[in-house]
Structure 1
């Protein structure tokens, strides 16, 4: 088959399907309905295949059209990605980069990476979103951030594991759970207040680790949870990197559980598209890897 079918024709067909009619598609992409109609009929003529059929006042894909458009969308997405890569290359150094970092990520590792990045790129602004659960994933999916560090798996993306974060079940030394002086089970825990972190996503309300205790308090930041637990207001599984000083000073004490006293999560670094990443984003990735102990800093 000749390659006379153009990318623009596939894009116009996709617009007609996405918007349900020639008129709505024409308005959305600022073309006349007749232009779209001609483009689709020309595409059908070149392919020798009917791709659209009437559906009331609208149109829909034929079975062959569904197969062809599904393949064509890959071409459309690749073309858009290529244009974005070119834009990135022509723009040179980014003026600002945006990160979404799960609050479970060790703060000292993040601080070392940011300090090293600041020394190398003092003119680049950094926007940092400290997220919980699916909050960072939501920002990543909506392309509001350049980098994501999350403990949740991202579909269709391969990440770089940075650190493993252990969680420890703790309460203040005077908490009633410690007074039982025996290994604790679920029945003991659900009778007491548990502190959990609120999902920072606008479209989700995920509760990771909640034991369904009636007395639940939900907070938005790990630091708040640590402070309230130290004051004897409940128990929680907290990231060990955030409570080592509290454990050493006796402000917190590990709960003696029969099972499940420790958990862990692996924090993974995700980059939407490595080819589109400018020099500042690539440098931030390198500094995060170095701070996490994965590699030595290469010559920049």
Structure 2
């Protein structure tokens, strides 16, 4: 049996399936039906249905099959879905790249920044960057864990600062963030007079920062306490710990001043008191990045390691 890949490619080249038809296919599968896909694409349901029928006619395959009353992707539809997504991503990159080539300096840079790096440090870098590119607008998307990866994968940003580099991207290490378990000085875990273990911590409330990714697919560190409160921002976690409402592992850059002032104390944990998390700077598309994006990357690489490196 011949491989279906070349057959599909030949059909595409001869019958000229349009990008709009590929978008319709992705929308129907992603949304789970024609009606929701029509809302997503801001088109009528009949227009979406017509696009799908035209695509099927051009390729000579059925991309959907009935299961009961529901249309689901056929095996050919699943294959075409994967290839169509790659095709549309490449088309969007090409369109964006052409736009970058037509201008000397980007008017807008979008950056995803994991909250493991304090936002004030990113802002200080932007202050330096603005001296060279005062007219370039910047949008910051504050993220946690897989939210940073999602921003890159969905091409929502030009640069990302996060703890992982998604497959298919090249990242450069920025700084290793050191995190300690901390609590208020009067927290019961500080009063045991000995090193504490996981069973001790299991009996007290842990404050956890929520993964901001679309599918919230990542967790980091020990999260086995019977009592847990989940918040969306590290600063909220820090406020809760200052109030004596729980304990957490937080970056030293957030707790540095509180530790020195005695408002917080490190947890005397037997094992795992310290975590080290490497962070990376990743371009969405390094080859076509403009001068402003490259300059911002230089500023971040030069300054964030100095700003976030605490040793106590």
TM-score, normalising length: structure 1? 0.75
- Secondary structure at 1:223 match in 2: helix
Kept in 1, the 8 Å contact 2:165–2:282? The answer is no
Is the aligned partner of 1:118 residue 2:130? yes
Kept in 2, the 8 Å contact 1:11–1:76? The answer is no
Summarize the Cα distance change of 1:187–1:36 in structure 2 as closer, same or farther, 3 Å threshold: closer
- Secondary structure at 2:270 match in 1: coil
Is the aligned partner of 1:289 residue 2:301? yes
Is the aligned partner of 1:98 residue 2:78? no
Shift of 1:197: 0.5
Is the aligned partner of 1:169 residue 2:181? yes
* Structure 1 residues 71-110: aligned runs within 5 Å: 78=90, 81-107=93-119, 109-110=121-122
| Residue number among 223, 226, 230 corresponding to 1:214 in the alignment | 226
Structure 2 unaligned spans of 5+: 1-9, 30-43, 307-312
Kept in 1, the 8 Å contact 2:111–2:160? The answer is yes
Summarize the Cα distance change of 1:12–1:196 in structure 2 as closer, same or farther, 3 Å threshold: same
| Residue number among 225, 228, 249 corresponding to 2:237 in the alignment | 225
Q: Could you list the per-position Cα deviations for residues 110-147 of structure 1 after superposition, in whole angstroms to 9, with x for gaps in the alignment?
A: 23321111111111111112211222222222222222
TM-score, normalising length: structure 2? 0.73
CA RMSD of aligned residues (A): 4.0
Kept in 2, the 8 Å contact 1:99–1:127? The answer is yes
Kept in 1, the 8 Å contact 2:153–2:166? The answer is no
Alignment size in residue pairs: 279
* Separation in structure 2 between the aligned mates of residue 87 and residue 285 of structure 1, nearest angstrom: 20
Summarize the Cα distance change of 1:105–1:183 in structure 2 as closer, same or farther, 3 Å threshold: same
Is the aligned partner of 1:144 residue 2:156? yes
* Separation in structure 2 between the aligned mates of residue 72 and residue 220 of structure 1, nearest angstrom: 34
Kept in 2, the 8 Å contact 1:172–1:231? The answer is yes
More off after superposition, 258-267 vs 101-110: 101-110
More off after superposition, 201-210 vs 85-94: 201-210
* Separation in structure 1 between the aligned mates of residue 52 and residue 252 of structure 2, nearest angstrom: 61
* Structure 1 residues 198-213: aligned runs within 5 Å: 198-204=210-216, 206-213=218-225
- Secondary structure at 1:292 match in 2: helix
* Separation in structure 2 between the aligned mates of residue 190 and residue 32 of structure 1, nearest angstrom: 54
| Residue number among 253, 270, 281 corresponding to 2:282 in the alignment | 270
Shift of 1:177: 0.8
Shift of 1:55: 8.2
- Secondary structure at 2:102 match in 1: helix
Shift of 1:225: 1.5
* Separation in structure 1 between the aligned mates of residue 210 and residue 174 of structure 2, nearest angstrom: 23
Is the aligned partner of 1:131 residue 2:139? no
Q: What is residue 236 of structure 1 aligned with on the other side? A: 248
More off after superposition, 82-91 vs 230-239: 82-91
Q: What is residue 251 of structure 1 aligned with on the other side? A: 263
Kept in 2, the 8 Å contact 1:98–1:127? The answer is yes
Shift of 1:83: 3.6
